[in-house]
With several copies, the nearest count.
Chain A
Amino acid sequence: MIQITETEISLDEMIKRARSKDAGAMVTFLGTVRDDGMERMEVEAFREAALMELEAIQEEAMSRFHLIAAEVVHRTGTLAVGENILAIVCSAAHREEAFSGCRYIIEELKKRAPVWKKELGEKCERWVGQTSSP
């Protein structure tokens, strides 16, 4: 299941959906808001395009790494330090495939999914990943 949501990510539900009697390994990645001296983070997505891209990435990971299930949920909106931005869960027969599939999804997501993050501090704000203006 692929989801972009304004509400809290339920890792439990994702793991429940990915669990299978044929799986010997499940690997989960959680991206969390790290305290870089800011107070909160705003996450914005080009929702329709991001869903399409995430679905394509999921399909690639499933077939390349023989995954049994791959779940991706990306949060949008205003997040506090420590909160989950993103969760990926991959299940496979063996751990090699589950690790590789999970890694593939996060790397491709970062390259391809139209999503942006802004760090908001008391006095300043900064779009993540932009070295120069705007």
Chain B
Amino acid sequence: MVLAFASFREILGKERVLHLKESATVKDLLDDLAAARPPFKEAAFDDTGALRDYVLLMVNRKRIDPTLDLSRPLQEGDELAVFPPLAGG
């Protein structure tokens, strides 16, 4: 399942259930989303195809580092959250 918040929610909707290929990674899932929703590709990736700096990610409600953990494999049932910089309080 993918959860999206704030500006990304406006593009993707709050929740999407996606079916994963065997041994799919976080990057694979983001690429699937980008392919399915061009506005998300525009918002989340730069021209070279790299994830933009301000994109934040959580897997199962724990923050992951987009520069290190994009190759992390996902399991069936994992929850990926994608959102812009925090602005609470």
Contact = CB atoms under 8 A, between A and B. Distances in A.
Chains A and B are bound partners? yes
Interface of A: 31, 43-46, 48-50, 52, 74, 85-86, 106, 109-118, 127-130, 132-134
A49 B89 contact: no
A48 B15 CA distance: 14
Interface stretch (B28-36, B65-73, B79-87): B79-87
Interface of A is mostly: mixed
Q: Nearest 10 CB-CB pairs, A to B?
A: A115-B88, A134-B43, A129-B87, A116-B6, A134-B7, A128-B87, A49-B61, A113-B88, A110-B89, A117-B87
Nearest to A31: B89
Given A44-B5, A44-B6, A50 B84 contact: no
28 contacts: A31-B89, A45-B88, A46-B58, A46-B83, A48-B61, A86-B89, A106-B89, A110-B88, A110-B89, A113-B88, A113-B89, A114-B58, A114-B81, A114-B86, A114-B88, A115-B86, A115-B88, A115-B89, A116-B5, A116-B6, A117-B87, A127-B6, A127-B84, A128-B87, A129-B85, A129-B86, A130-B7, A133-B42
What is the interface of chain B mostly: helix, strand, loop, or mixed?
mixed
B3 A85 contact: no
Contacts, number: 81
Interface in B24-60: 42-44, 54, 58
